[in-house]
Chain A
């Protein structure tokens, strides 16, 4: 049996928690390797060897070392296709195409405003960085437009890509969690009927609850 895979980075990081959620959905054993970001460990030569952009997460298993959270998730799903949640990243090409479409929508359209807000609302205060009110206002507006489109989509579809919970939905968990908790943006989600239903369903998954526990204990 293979040794546990390694994930480098703190569970509090949205990108790290994306990978952790995926590993838990797929029942793949992992070991979390701490990276002391407060001390700039992620910018030092040793770490840059495994993630040349100096960001978390990085990932290793017995055969490969990779980075970029969404690439790591795809790799885990492909390699362990028969384990855990088999619908997470379907092997059926037409279903996969739909998952990829919404995973790209997350990365290209949902992530920019939501991660800007997460930084301003959740992390900047902790880091004693003054919040940028302009940025918050702008990104709240952008997020609102995106959520209108999501609400329309989720009117006719239980999850983003179709009837099953997939990597496309999972990819939204980290940023959204911070937005509705410490970010005080719950109303943006709860005021939209279908988004509210979807968020409640995906955030109640055992895998995500475990990740939230891990974030609390670190």
Chain B
């Protein structure tokens, strides 16, 4: 039985899961959820994720929600397929640290900023300049830490590409299409890392799903 991903092609959290599946060359069935119609807030979707959010995931009898729990499951369960996205032993501890950094330091700020700069314009809503003004310097400080880290390590978690890097891709791609691109471009190691991870073939496949729609 094929793995199923319930979600949206433009949902950053769903894209995290697609990226993982493509990196590992795994077959899956995409089950679109009509977010505009609020399908994710009703049954039967709520049985898959009681928090009413995408994505939700199925692998046989296993049902999961939370994109980072899903990607972690896939990476470990299919460790021998495609790109190794996690490590064994001690290096995994540091990968784990930077996965938390993405989840708590980067994504919190990046989500607020992408909402103002990418999604609100899309929905014809007015941007709140104060939110951008407040969070842009905070993101800059986080990226200073990234710059120092990437001066010591090729990728965030270790010397190979792992989930610690991959998890950034959806929100990062959104921000790189806004004036905040300058924050990333201004930091040489960060800039090189961004270019590297965004150029991955698996990521191109995820983006291609949006144009197929």
Query: Cβ of B97 and Cβ of A153 under 8 Å apart?
Result: no
Q: How far is the CA of A108 from the CA of B96 in the complex (A)?
A: 16
Point out the residues of chain B lying under 8 angstroms from A105, CB to CB.
Answer: 51, 65-66
Main SS at interface, chain A: helix
A179: CB under 8 A from chain B? no
Query: Cβ of A68 and Cβ of B69 under 8 Å apart?
Result: no
Q: How far is the CA of A104 from the CA of B69 in the complex (A)?
A: 7
Query: Cβ of A93 and Cβ of B73 under 8 Å apart?
Result: yes
Query: Cβ of A71 and Cβ of B100 under 8 Å apart?
Result: yes
Interface residue stretch chosen among A59-67, A130-138, A200-208: A59-67
Query: Cβ of A107 and Cβ of B97 under 8 Å apart?
Result: no
Contact count band on B: 20 to 34
Query: Cβ of A75 and Cβ of B96 under 8 Å apart?
Result: yes
Point out the residues of chain A lying under 8 angstroms from B129, CB to CB.
Answer: none
B149: CB under 8 A from chain A? yes
Most B Cβ at <10 Å: residue of A67, A70, A109: A70
Query: Cβ of A101 and Cβ of B103 under 8 Å apart?
Result: no
Q: How far is the CA of A103 from the CA of B103 in the complex (A)?
A: 12
Chain A residues in contact with chain B, CB under 8 A?
52-53, 63-64, 66-68, 70-71, 74-75, 78, 93-94, 96-98, 100-101, 103-105, 107-109, 112, 146, 149, 152-153
Chain B residues in contact with chain A, CB under 8 A?
50-51, 62, 64-66, 68-69, 72-73, 76-77, 90, 92-94, 96-97, 99-101, 103-105, 108, 142, 145, 148-149
